[in-house]
Amino acid sequence: MCNFLINKLLPRKKILHITIKRRKNLIKNNGTYGECWQLDKPHSFEIVLDGGVSRKTCLTTLAHELVHVKQFSTKELKFGHSIDTWRGKKYYHGAAYESLPWEKEATQLETKLYDAYQNHNKIV
């Protein structure tokens, strides 16, 4: 799924290093189904997914987090110590999750990407 979606989101990107981990109790401990971080090494990312969710929820969350990989990779999104930047506009930490434009985009695309992957698998 990761390769399929990265090819859809970043068709020209040839070098990406993405580590995907599953962690128990991510929802309980962090209040989230998944997280994505850009690492210090160029083109390197880590995605952490909650290990206790259904297959569909896991794959939908993976799609959501891969949208963040696209956002970081294209430099639309940059995380800072107290300020994040989205397409040149600054957002202070503590803003409501659902109001953040990078989260809105990822949420809007997650189900579409999951469905595209499922349809691709039916054809192949």
pLDDT tens readout for residues 28-73: 999 999 999 999 999 999 999 999 999 999 999 999 999 999 999 9
Q: What is the pLDDT of residue 51?
A: 94
- Nearest Cα residue to 103 out of 79, 74, 76, 67: 67
Mean model confidence pLDDT for the chain: 94
Q: What is the pLDDT of residue 25?
A: 94
Residue spans per domain, the chain = 2-123
Query: What percent of the chain lies above the pLDDT cut of 90?
Result: 85
The pLDDT of residue 122 is above 90? no
pTM: 0.94
Is there a contact between 16 and 10 (Cβ–Cβ < 8 Å)?
yes
R_g of the chain computed on alpha carbons: 14
Q: What is the pLDDT of residue 124?
A: 59
For residue 100, count CB atoms less than 10 angstroms from its CB and return exposed for 0-12, middle for 13-18, buried for 19 or more. Answer: middle
Is there a contact between 24 and 51 (Cβ–Cβ < 8 Å)?
yes
Q: Find the helix or strand (DSSP H, E) in which 102 lies.
A: helix 101-123
